[in-house]
Amino acid sequence: ITQDNLKKLVHYGFEIISPATGLLACNDVGEGKMPEPEILFEYILKHLAMEKDLAGKKVIVTAGPTQEAIDPVRFITNHSTGKMGYALAKVCMLRGAQVALITGKTALAAPMFTEVIHVTSAKDMYEAVCERIDKADIVFKAAAVADYTPSITYDNKVKKKESDLSVPLKRTDDILKYLGTKKRPGQILCGFSMETENMLENSQAKLIKKNVDMIVANNLKVAGAGFGTDTNIVTLITKDGFRELPLMSKFNTANAIVDTALELY
C-alpha cells in the first residue's frame, strides 16, 4: 500500500526523498531511516533557494587539479582545491541547470543533484569534456589543468640515485582552446585565468586567442584570491570590456559569474 501511494505521489509530480540505509528500530539493517537533516535541507534549498533562471539548460563545470604521473608513487600537480568550481556547480544546480561536474581529486564533497565525473589526469579531463560538449549550453572551465605532463610514465618506482634526475615534459591538450574551435552558435564558453603578473593583459589576450566568450581572472598574489581560500577577488572579462568584483565568498562570486554568463547567453 505504501509503495502504491508513493507511485501515485510521483505521478502527480511530487519528489520522493528516499529513506537512508542503516540500523532500524527493529534491529534489522536496510532502507528505512529518516535521512539526515542536512540532506533534507539540501532538498529544500534545491527547490526554494534561488530563481530557476537556468532551468532547461545543460552546464559543464570543470574543477580541481589534475595529477600527471611520473611513476606509481609520484605525480605532478598544483595547489587547486576545487572550491571555485564546486561553488559554480552548486549555484548552477540551485538555479535549475542540469550540471555535469568534471572534477580532479579534491577533499570536497560534491554538490548534491549534480552528475559528478571523477578524473585524474589532463588527458582524462580532456576526454570527459569532449564526450559532453556537444549537448552543453554553458561551460565553465574552472579546473587547474596541468600544462605539461611527463613524456614517459615509469611502470615501477624510480629509485633514488647519487646523481640528479631530469623528468622530460610534453604539452597536454589545451582543453579551452579546443572548445573554442568547436564552439557552436549560442553556446557560452567561460575560461579561468590565474595570473601572478599582468593579469588583465594576459587574460584579455587569452579571451581572443582561445575564442571564448568570457574569462574569469584573478591574481594569486592578491590576499583573498589564492588557492584554498573561501573567498575570491575576480575580474570578469568579455569582448565588451571588463568588470572588477570586490572580495566575496566563492559562492557569491559564482553567482556573479553565472549572472554574466546568462547576460551573454
Pair 19, 62 in one domain: no
- Per residue in 164-210, pLDDT tens? 999 999 999 999 999 999 999 999 999 999 999 999 999 999 999 99
pLDDT at 6 over 80: yes
Q: What pLDDT does residue 265 have?
A: 86
Burial of 50 (0-12, 13-18, 19+ CB in 10 A): middle
- Give the model's pLDDT for residue 228: 86
In terms of domains, do 117 and 154 share one? yes
Residue 256 in domain: yes
Domain count, the chain: 2
Query: Are residues 16 and 119 located together in one domain of the fold?
Result: no
What value does the mean pLDDT take over residues 70-74?
Answer: 96
Residue 156 contacts by C-beta under 8 Å, 6 or more apart in sequence?
71, 72
My answer on whether 137 and 28 are in the same domain is no
Q: Give a yes or no: residue 46 inside a domain.
A: no
Is residue 50 in some structural domain? no
State the Cα–Cα distance between residues 185 and 196, nearest whole angstrom: 33
Same domain assignment for residues 192 and 126: yes
Residue 43: inside a domain, yes or no? no
Q: How far apart are CA 257 and CA 193, in angstroms?
A: 13
Per the CB < 8 A criterion, the answer to whether 77 and 150 are in contact is no
C-alpha 70/C-alpha 149 separation (Å) is 8
Per DSSP, 135 falls in state G
State residue 250's pLDDT score: 97
Whether residues 110 and 211 share a domain: the answer is yes
Contact predicate 232/250, CB 8 Å = yes
Which pLDDT value is given to residue 177?
A: 95
What domain range is 28 assigned to? Answer: 2-35
Predicted local confidence at residue 109, as pLDDT: 95
DSSP element (H, E) containing 170: strand 169-171
| Alpha carbon distance 94, 261 (integer Å) | 16
User: Residue 134: what are its φ and ψ, rounded to 5°?
Assistant: -60, -30
For residue 69, give every residue at least 6 positions away whose Cβ sits within 8 Å of its Cβ, in sequence order, or none.
Answer: 75, 121, 150, 153
Centre a 10 Å sphere on the Cβ of residue 255 and count the other Cβ atoms it contains.
18
Is residue 40 assigned to a domain?
no
Q: Which of 26, 92, 130, 190 does the annotation list as catalytic?
A: 26
> Is residue 129 a part of any domain in this protein?
yes
Q: What is the CATH number of the domain that holds 167?
A: 3.40.50.10300
Percentage above 90 pLDDT, the chain? 91
Band the pLDDT of 226: cuts 50, 70, 90. Answer: confident
Same domain membership, residue 86 and residue 140:
yes
Burial of 148 (0-12, 13-18, 19+ CB in 10 A): middle
**26 catalytic, yes or no?**
yes
Q: Are residues 17 and 82 in the same domain?
A: no
Q: Which three cell numbers stand for residue 170?
A: 610534453
Q: Does one domain contain both 154 and 190?
A: yes
Residue range 101-159, pLDDT digits in tens: 999 999 999 999 999 999 999 999 999 999 999 999 999 999 999 999 999 999 999 99
| pLDDT surpassing 90 at residue 26 | no
Report if residue 241 sits inside a domain: yes
The type of residue at 74 is: R
Same domain, yes or no, for 97 and 202?
yes
The rounded mean pLDDT for the chain is 95
Task: Give the per-residue pLDDT at 224.
Answer: 87
Both 62 and 18 in one domain: the answer is no
Residues 86 and 176 in one domain: yes
At 11 the pLDDT is 97
Is residue 151 in a domain?
yes
**Cα–Cα distance, 251 to 170 (Å, whole number):** 35
